[in-house]
A and B are shown apart, each in its own frame.
Chain A
Amino acid sequence: MSAAEKAAMREKARIAFEGTRRERTPWGDAMRQLLKNRAAVAGGIFVIFVVLVAILADVIAPYHFAEVHFADSYAAPGAKYLAGADYLGRDILSRTIYGSRVSLAVAFVASTVSLVIGIVVGMVSGYAGGRVDNLLMRLVDFLYGFPFLIFVILLQVYFKALSRRGSNLFIVGPLIELNNRMGGLLFIFIAMGFLDWLQMARIARGQVLSYKQKEFVEAARMVGAGDARIIFRHLLPNVLGPCIVSETLAIPGYIFTEAFLSFIGLGVDAPTPSWGIMISEGYTGLRSYPYLIMAPAVALVLTVLAFNFLGDGLRDAFDPRLRGE
């Protein structure tokens, strides 16, 4: 074999090796697709920015969110208060910055709660099949008819009344204590997450049904994998993708619901700032102090916009049927 032939062989081997190294996986494909989508990337970057703002709120906010300056009530935007001050002379910009914590916490925690409940119910339903499946899906169909928002309102009023009254039931007492410390956030998580898992359960069940007959699951069972191993190692990764995509698309809904609850006075407890509360305070003073509403409104719209772009991009990336040729 000549040196040239050897070099050619080596080159071939290298290409073959590169080929295996650059193996295309569905996840890799989706990520590449996502990164090509400029709007989704911008949305993702903005979400990261809001997360950083929320984490660093103590450092970047010029004032504490509850710091009252009575002399400066309704101060116009200026050097002292960049976005103005509210009826108690609290800095709007600082409250908007701290408000990101509430919106993001609701977005992530409520969606995680609904994700976990939905996946558990959906996977159990799909994997067990038969009577269990029938029963659980009937339940889901049944709950679908329930008016979600009305029950969120009922639950929130219930929780608010409960935390005002207190309770010495063994688990409820500490929960109320924790909720009060979180400015009323805990119960919002519970109310929203626990009521909104139906869609997720359906998606998870659909995924399990389509994968549990696949060869790789059969193979795993053949070599002696138990139910737990099949569920967690083989099915869960396939269920997770579509569920997370769908949950990302649901996040704007959670942020809106929290803003709505705060707007109607059933959100977080004062003085915790939430964009919904600030908008509610701002619109009542719209005639005389239109600037009160600006910062929280812009923050809310931009954040939801970012999540929508990101969610849309994720969905397009994971659903190749929607790609344009």
Chain B
Amino acid sequence: MTRYIIRRILWFIPVLLAIVMATFVFVRAIPGGPFDFVGDKSLPPSVVANLKAKYHLNEPVWKQFARYLYDVVIKQDLGPSYRYRGRTVNEIIRDALPISTQLGLLSLLLGLAIGLPAGIIAALKQNTAIDYGSTFVAILGVSIPNIVLGPLLIWIFALKLNWFPVARWGAQAPFFLGFLPVPNLTFWKYAILPTITLGTGLSASIARLTRASLLQTIREDYIRTARAKGLAERVVIVRHALKNSMIPVVTILGPMFAMVVTGTFTTEQIFGIPGLGKHFVTSVGNRDYPVVVGTTLLYSVFLVIANLLVDITYAWLDPRIRYD
């Protein structure tokens, strides 16, 4: 197992390198540069030339890339932002990531708390009213995008009923352990609507997948064997079926985790949450090269680590899976 993990971690290096290189080169190939406009005004060519020289943008791309790699690997420095003058990418991530992580983790917890039980119950009561009802709700849940659910919740619960604030986030740095907020009333008041917005889709996909997977598992031979040797139904389901059926669910949890924890543009945008999500989108439009590459790298690191954890979990869920 240890050897497997080491091999996988070594495999991260070429994958991350390729992602960074592709992003690095590609974002520079997009027509237009980071200093074309300041607001609506364009800068004089001499100023642009100076800025480009300052950030080494007049060098050949391979040289820029080598410099970038050196900074990232040796100094853990993702470079300066071109758009937010005086701020580094490290600072942007440090300020915005914890907020995205809070929202992402809450949503994921909500997704699991609703999705898993709903999927399990639906599968165990297949073709009953409970099954049809929860399956219908789950399909409805995956069919409502955040850009519809968010405004809908705001309209009902913030504008009409006035229960929750319309926007913003109720926690500020410094955070406990770097990302945990003080869970006071203000925090929850701001967190509930965005968490539901982001968590509904997650819980619906988790429920659907759990149901489908559990249905397949309980038809397996080893379940029949477990029943035949007289195990109690509860033991058969919990110990034999459930654990095994979690494999596809865990598989989607990996990418899901990476995506929601590093920030989702739409939910943060709709609720005006100062998370990392917007930087993924606006930095490309601004040609803020270091922010584009830095956020992409951050997301990719989350993704490969999450996927590794997923694969390690497999071995625990299904004893037939071994890594040697």
The stretch among A19-27, A106-114, A224-232, A299-307 that forms the contact with chain B is: A299-307
Chain A 284-325 residues near chain B, CB threshold 8 A = 286-287, 290, 293, 297, 300-301, 304-305, 308-309, 312, 321-322, 324
Q: Are B155 and A290 in touch, CB under 8 angstroms?
A: yes
Name the one of B19, B151, B304 contacting A279, with C-beta atoms under 8 angstroms.
Answer: B151
Q: Which residue of B lies closest to A158 (CB)?
A: B30
Query: A158 to chain B: closest CB distance in Å?
Result: 5
Name the residue in B148, B219, B265 with the highest tally of chain A Cβ atoms < 10 Å from its Cβ. B148
User: Does chain A have a CB within 8 A of B144?
Assistant: yes
A301–B22 CA distance with the chains assembled, in angstroms:
35
Query: B32 to chain A: closest CB distance in Å?
Result: 5
Q: Which residue of A lies closest to B126 (CB)?
A: A324
The stretch among A78-86, A127-135, A142-150 that forms the contact with chain B is: A142-150
User: Which residues of chain A are within 8 angstroms of B269 by Cβ–Cβ distance?
Assistant: 264
The stretch among B95-103, B108-116, B279-287 that forms the contact with chain A is: B279-287
Q: Which residue of B lies closest to A159 (CB)?
A: B30
Q: Are B148 and A279 in touch, CB under 8 angstroms?
A: yes
Q: Are B30 and A147 in touch, CB under 8 angstroms?
A: no
Q: Are B22 and A286 in touch, CB under 8 angstroms?
A: no
User: Which residues of chain B are within 8 angstroms of A150 by Cβ–Cβ distance?
Assistant: 23, 280, 296, 299
User: Does chain A have a CB within 8 A of B145?
Assistant: yes
Query: A322 to chain B: closest CB distance in Å?
Result: 6
Q: Are A142 and B144 in touch, CB under 8 angstroms?
A: no
User: Which residues of chain B are within 8 angstroms of A324 by Cβ–Cβ distance?
Assistant: 126-127, 215
Chain B 8-35 residues near chain A, CB threshold 8 A = 15, 18-19, 22-23, 26-27, 29-32
User: Which residues of chain B are within 8 angstroms of A151 by Cβ–Cβ distance?
Assistant: 22
Q: Are B150 and A322 in touch, CB under 8 angstroms?
A: no
A259–B146 CA distance with the chains assembled, in angstroms:
10
Majority-rule SS of A interface residues: helix
A260 in contact with B31 given A150-B299, A157-B285, A286-B155 (CB within 8 Å): no
User: Which residues of chain B are within 8 angstroms of A122 by Cβ–Cβ distance?
Assistant: none
Q: Are A145 and B304 in touch, CB under 8 angstroms?
A: yes
User: Which residues of chain A are within 8 angstroms of B215 by Cβ–Cβ distance?
Assistant: 322, 324
User: Does chain A have a CB within 8 A of B159?
Assistant: yes
User: Does chain A have a CB within 8 A of B142?
Assistant: yes
User: Does chain B have a CB within 8 A of A252?
Assistant: yes
User: Does chain A have a CB within 8 A of B225?
Assistant: no
A321 in contact with B30 given A256-B145, A263-B147 (CB within 8 Å): no
User: Does chain A have a CB within 8 A of B50?
Assistant: no
A308–B219 CA distance with the chains assembled, in angstroms:
25
User: Does chain B have a CB within 8 A of A282?
Assistant: yes
User: Does chain B have a CB within 8 A of A153?
Assistant: yes
Query: B206 to chain A: closest CB distance in Å?
Result: 15
Interface string of A134-168 (1 = CB under 8 A from B): 00000000100111011101100110011011000
User: Which residues of chain A are within 8 angstroms of B148 by Cβ–Cβ distance?
Assistant: 279, 293, 297, 300-301
Query: B61 to chain A: closest CB distance in Å?
Result: 16
A256–B204 CA distance with the chains assembled, in angstroms:
15
Interface string of B151-186 (1 = CB under 8 A from A): 110110001000000100000000000000000000
Q: Are A305 and B26 in touch, CB under 8 angstroms?
A: no
User: Which residues of chain A are within 8 angstroms of B27 by Cβ–Cβ distance?
Assistant: 154
Name the one of A145, A146, A286 contacting B151, with C-beta atoms under 8 angstroms.
Answer: A286
A145 in contact with B303 given A153-B281, A154-B27 (CB within 8 Å): yes
Name the residue in A39, A147, A322 with the highest tally of chain B Cβ atoms < 10 Å from its Cβ. A147
B residues in contact (CB < 8 Å) with A? 15, 18-19, 22-23, 26-27, 29-32, 126-127, 136, 139-140, 142-145, 147-148, 150-152, 154-155, 159, 166, 212, 215-216, 219, 265-266, 269-270, 280-281, 284-285, 292, 296, 299-300, 303-304, 307
A residues in contact (CB < 8 Å) with B? 39, 142, 145-147, 149-151, 153-154, 157-158, 161-162, 164-165, 252, 256, 259-260, 263-266, 276, 279-280, 282-283, 286-287, 290, 293, 297, 300-301, 304-305, 308-309, 312, 321-322, 324
Q: List 29 A-B contacts (CB under 8 A).
A: A145-B304, A146-B300, A147-B300, A149-B280, A150-B23, A150-B296, A150-B299, A151-B22, A153-B281, A154-B26, A154-B27, A157-B285, A259-B147, A260-B147, A264-B269, A266-B281, A279-B151, A283-B150, A283-B151, A286-B151, A287-B166, A290-B155, A297-B148, A297-B152, A300-B145, A305-B139, A308-B139, A309-B139, A322-B212
What would 8 more interface pairs be, CB under 8 Å, given A145-B15, A321-B216? A145-B300, A147-B296, A149-B280, A154-B23, A157-B284, A158-B31, A259-B145, A276-B147
Closest 7 A/B residue pairs (Cβ): A161-B31, A305-B143, A283-B151, A304-B143, A297-B148, A324-B127, A145-B15
